[in-house]
Amino acid sequence: MAKEKIKTKNIIQKNAGYIISNPEHSTANYNLQLLRITLTNLETKVDFGYQATSYYTNGGWIKISPKTFIRPKGTNKKLILTNATNIPYGPEKLHFNSSIEWRYFSLHFPPILEDANNKKSLMFDTAEPRTIESIDLIENEKGDDTDFNFYGIRLNDERKKSNIY
Amino acid sequence: MPPPSEAALRYAIIDRCLTNPYKPFPTMDVLKWEIERELKTSVSTATIQKDIAQMKKGEDEGGYSSPIKFKRSNQGYYYDLDKFPDYTIRSFGLNDKEIEAIELAAGVLKQFQGIKVNDTFNHAIDKLFSSVNIKKTAKDEILINAIQPEETTYMRGMEYFETLVSSIKKKIPVSFIHYSYDKKLFKAIIIHPYLMKESNKRWYLVGYSEEHKEVRYFGLDRIYDPVLIDKEFKENKGGDLRTLFDNKIGLNTIHDKEVEKPEEVTLWVSRTMANYIKSMPLHKSQSHKEYGGYGEILVTLHLVPTYELLAMILSYGKHMELLTPKWLRKEIEKELERSVVKYKKNKA
């Protein structure tokens, strides 16, 4: 019974979501690339690629704060990280062995696309769902450039949007 | 590769009993006796009942859609041949020669079973082995040991093989993350997939890349997280893609794609290696002529120079020398000089 429940919960509705490939944002971080955002009725998933660097001994390390959140523009709502794939929660670290290593990882947040069929969000304090223009992804708001902070990640660029099959 | 599962072997025995015209309507006891005799192991009635139930299931559930019925008057089982004339799960009535040919092909296929392309495929091979010839495959593994293709090691990304082949078949574009070993950069790619291509034991997905606005190929080992996309499929208009790689050894050209073109490559081959090269050509464009009268040969190839060609020439060491084109000879010379410097360095 429990299994059945999980199975049902994990089904993404057909055409009930979209991806944004290589989204635009206003943050420069040469080692960390924001690659793709998947918005469905189940979650908001953000995919990253990290290239280890010779700046650090043996390529350095990465981790993600469990307090990392996304904040849709026009709201004060913070949607806290629900899961991280291929990257540990801090203070645990993933240590690279050399500067030629890389890591593809994903951060999972609650859905912002609650009205998935209309590709709109119900997060705003308005009667009607609205399209979200952009989001910020913040690991540490008062941090430095080693924190995984991305501002103004565009979600409304139609050229970069594709519906999920 | 392990022999077929015991269950698959039992299905084949049950099938044989049900198609034996001399002993129609085999009872449960007969089935039990036959299975135990063939497999030299005891089997319960409940197991055979489960086997029959499984055989009756559709192929999507791992069965054979077998029309098995029970006849009360004979207390035995039979295939409902009124609805399915000549039904059998065994190789559709193949003759011995045809079965032998399939045995050979199945032996070659086992290399793919090792890399676990997908469970359905493994199950299909399992079925094939068990239905082709049960006696050989049961315990003595005669067939298994008769053929030893080169082992294929697991390559990262093979877990996406089935999804990507299915997207090619159904013409569904795919979004995935690609990591470039050369540029050390990631990119989200949307591809309209056309072909899975194997080269030097690596698999590549070939298709129209929206990002690059042309047909590209991407190594499966560098692909992450494919997602099927709901958008109009861009058909391939560039001709038969399978011929795209005909004029190369490998895929990675030395020149940029814009200027790549086939060239005539001449190689000298020592008398030690000459017969090997003659008996198994390096490329389908290969021609050769004797050189000097002592067994050495000159080989001519007509192809696009690739890094794989370069690596292949170097792998023959002193037994192969590239004569033309000159620019490629210089490349090899530089490569060898670097190697010599490396080997001469006292690393200890």
Q: Residue A91, preceding bond cis, omega within 30 degrees?
A: yes
Lowest mean pLDDT among A16-20, A49-53, A114-118, A129-133: A114-118
- CA of A57, closest CA in chain B: separation in Å? 18
Q: What is the mean pLDDT of chain B?
A: 84
* Radius of gyration (C-alpha) of chain A in whole angstroms: 17
Check: CATH 3.55.50 for B158-243? Answer: no
Q: So what's the pLDDT on residue B319?
A: 97
Residues in Cβ contact with A158 at an 8 Å cutoff, skipping those fewer than 6 apart: none
Query: Domain extents for chain B?
Result: 1-153, 158-243, 263-344
Lowest mean pLDDT among B2-16, B111-125, B181-195: B111-125
- CA of A45, closest CA in chain B: separation in Å? 12
Is the predicted pLDDT of residue A3 greater than 60, yes or no?
A: no
Arithmetic mean of pLDDT, A12-25: 78
Return the closest-CA partner of residue B106 out of B87, B88, B122: B122
Interface test with A, best of B160, B175, B176 (most A CBs within 10 A): B175
Tens-place pLDDT, residues B161-220: 889 999 999 999 999 999 999 899 999 999 999 999 888 888 999 999 999 999 999 999
**B185 with A19: Cβ contact below 8 A:** no
**A104 with B185: Cβ contact below 8 A:** no
Displacement of CA B310 from its chain's centroid (Å): 26
Please give the residue range of the domain that contains residue A53: 2-163
User: Looking at chain B, which residue has its C-alpha nearest residue A16?
Assistant: B230
Quote the CA–CA distance of B297 and B62 in Å, as a whole number: 55
Q: So what's the pLDDT on residue B96?
A: 59
Phi, psi of A105 (to 5 degrees): -145, 165
Q: How many domains does chain A have?
A: 1
Quote the CA–CA distance of B306 and B323 in Å, as a whole number: 16
Q: DSSP string spanning B132-182?
A: H-HHHHHSS-HHHHH--PPPPPP-TTGGGHHHHHHHHHHT--EEEEEEETT
Q: Are the CB atoms for A131 and A115 separated by under 8 Å?
A: no
B140: number of Cβ within 10 Å: 11
Interface test with B, best of A50, A162, A163 (most B CBs within 10 A): A162
pLDDT: which is higher, A62 or B146: A62
Please tell me the pTM assigned to this model. 0.72
Is the predicted pLDDT of residue B140 greater than 80, yes or no?
A: no
Q: Are the CB atoms for B90 and B15 separated by under 8 Å?
A: yes
B116: number of Cβ within 10 Å: 13
Lowest mean pLDDT among A34-48, A149-163, B150-164: B150-164
Tens-place pLDDT, residues B47-100: 999 999 998 888 777 788 889 999 998 899 999 888 777 788 765 455 556 666
**B186 with A163: Cβ contact below 8 A:** no
Asked if A49 has any chain B CB less than 8 Å from its own CB, the reply is: yes
What are the chain B neighbours of A102 within 8 Å (beta carbons)? 179, 184, 186
Phi, psi of B222 (to 5 degrees): -110, 10
Is the predicted pLDDT of residue A9 greater than 50, yes or no?
A: no
Tens-place pLDDT, residues A98-107: 999 999 999 9
Return the closest-CA partner of residue A98 out of B155, B347, B178, B184: B184
Tens-place pLDDT, residues B265-290: 999 999 999 999 999 999 999 999 99
pLDDT: which is higher, B5 or A98: A98
Q: Which CATH number fits domain B263-344: 3.30.70, 3.40.50, 3.10.450, 3.30.590?
A: 3.30.70
